[in-house]
Structure 1
């Protein structure tokens, strides 16, 4: 079925309302520049501090045993989350903000998607380490198991809410509307990976001990895992809660279980395993869905999956109506 269509909410004629600002004319480009720029600027003090390059003798306060909450989280909130809010407000006004926030409440999806995000993918992450463990595997401690739920909650309200309202809630629907699912993943995956790159100059990325290839392997993982994220987002009717849990479920499993179960494995080796599995999953999904990745607008449209439009109707974001489809 083609994407939902409706007349423009700002006029009674169905014609496009005038676009008078840069964010309205180029929302995706504006978001990308702001998401990267605001985060990178905010991260400069942390990268220059002893937590990174060590050229500025300023120590950030530690919370829960790490300074990343005070040194990195503010930049993450300013970047994807802050940019998505600002560009949506400038480009689409209150109706756009309602659609943007509305996806956060699309939690009424079949239970199997929550099982995939909370059990299936984390279990796969754990099993990914077995071929690279060299036989050094041990059962998780009681402390690690107890920390799973609190860790997930912390990740949800830090990493999850700082990133996903930007990458998946704002950027992905717009990119798919314009370029189709294949074009969207080709743009969003590298953008998501690039956003992380300055952090490899800090303790987040293992500086100064990380091998030069680790950012490249991480980028491969991010780009391919974005394909999985896109498929899940589309198949759940653009449910942001499931996307959040899928993202932070991977992070939380690594943070709480990985070092506990694989004490002899380095972060670089871990990322190699994750990148391989994620690449295989992305290829399988692309082949199985013929590049559609569950996007409704890709069915029955012209080659390449780009949704067709008409001159008399304004195509809005797929699934932008309140509630689930």
Structure 2
């Protein structure tokens, strides 16, 4: 079957060059940056492959249930980080028994997100030339489309109705912990429409346009109307929560100091990571913002959370944290937004997506 028959593009459209007016100095700078990106991507690919080999060849950490069905009732989909042959693969557990046996699929992802109708799998393919891609899957794990990412996978989200896919990748750098990174975030419609890089949208802060060269956007979360989304827009040391419109191609700032937003199921709140250190080594706390008043509440998790938070339900959020003393391993934690201490939700897991 031709992949385009499913309405999803098989590849991204190419950006148009600016023409012959580039100066020699700019082309030389571009060559340097490109070389650094390629070198950094190659190092990341080798490191990721070594980590994968080490973890996948280790003794299994968890009980598996090949017969666990994802069709009946709700479930959590995630990246399995338990040692054993299923390391890095898509895993699922029942919402009713998150600490029970997990079902593993054959597909491996660096990041996974899912709705009842669609999945987005960001992956790294290590090799002499390491490549990165976003692979779109149906609920049975069949590939519908795939396109290249410009760098290391970072974030992905699907709109609640399964009509839009967003992906963020590092163009330079590999972490949000610092200033030397750049990202590219694109949104694609399941109907085949490519909305492109949201950095090309008009960014409005306090009514004025911000067109600075250091603009950087990441961490999309979708509303339910097929047009509205939220994201982080950064420039000049600011990290604004912005409300985006696909139709108008605009990003309007709502509040400073918000990174990696996640819209609550009722659309009234944003969970996000809040930088509290004020230093070059960030420390992110989990916080919740009321969209009507823009009042924020910093929650009880004291560890630094570098993740795009997922809502388990209206009163609880999920997020991943690296497991102490175990390279390449992580756990998913839950936190009551009304108060209380964090609780371990799924061991040896990363990148949660709640599917009902």
Q: Shared topology, TM-score over 0.5?
A: no
Structure number with higher strand proportion: 2
Q: Which has the higher contact order (CA 8 A, sep 6+)?
A: 1
TM category (shorter chain) comes to under 0.3
Of Structure 1 and Structure 2, the greater helix share is in 1
**TM, length-normalised to structure 2:** 0.26
